[in-house]
Amino acid sequence: MLRDKNLIPLSHQHQHALALCVRLDRALQAKEVDLGAWQAEIQTIFEQEIGIHFSAEEKTIFPPARRVPELQPLVDELQAEHSVLRNFFTKAAARTLSNSDLLMFAEKLAQHIRKEERQLFQDMQKLMTPQELSVIGAALNEGLKDASDICILPNPATRLRPKT
């Protein structure tokens, strides 16, 4: 199903976060992890985009989705996942994540994003009216206005280097 135009800004941000997960997973697989650099990048991405994204979802997406009975359990689950992910971001800011924490973070963030895209957004598009989605879209534009609108590029320490 094509993504409704009102949800596309969130989907674009999801792509940015999934790119982070892929890069982090590749670095962990290659055993090329500079913990400090990764934690700094995770902190920056949270401050510039994901924190604003979570807030917009919690204020703009979750309340109207909760009003749809079929979506209530899913929204509750996603809200709980935001709390778990925020704990990872807090640990990254404190520079207390380990390599195994980074792996768990990447897995949980990717799973969360896929659940929003494949379940919440798909079901919202099926169960909500175009007018409801339009109201959500207008509120999202306002809620996301302070988020970075570009994908943050990896810094040299978090970019995989070719094997020599």
Q: What is the chain's mean pLDDT, rounded?
A: 90
Task: Name the residue ranges covered by the structural domains of the chain.
Answer: 8-145
CATH 3.30.2000.10 fits 8-145, yes or no: no
3-state secondary structure of 117: helix
What proportion of the chain, given as a percentage, has pLDDT over 90? Answer: 81
Q: How deeply is 78 buried, as exposed, middle or buried, from its count of CB atoms within 10 A (0-12, 13-18, 19+)?
A: buried
Report d(CA 117, CA 7) in Å as an integer: 10
- Cα torsion at 85, 41, 52, 55 (round to 10°)? 10
| pLDDT (0 to 100) of residue 69 | 97
Which pLDDT score is estimated for 156? 54
What pLDDT score was predicted for residue 143? 85
CB 132 within 8 A of CB 2: no
138 CB neighbour count, 10 Å cutoff: 12
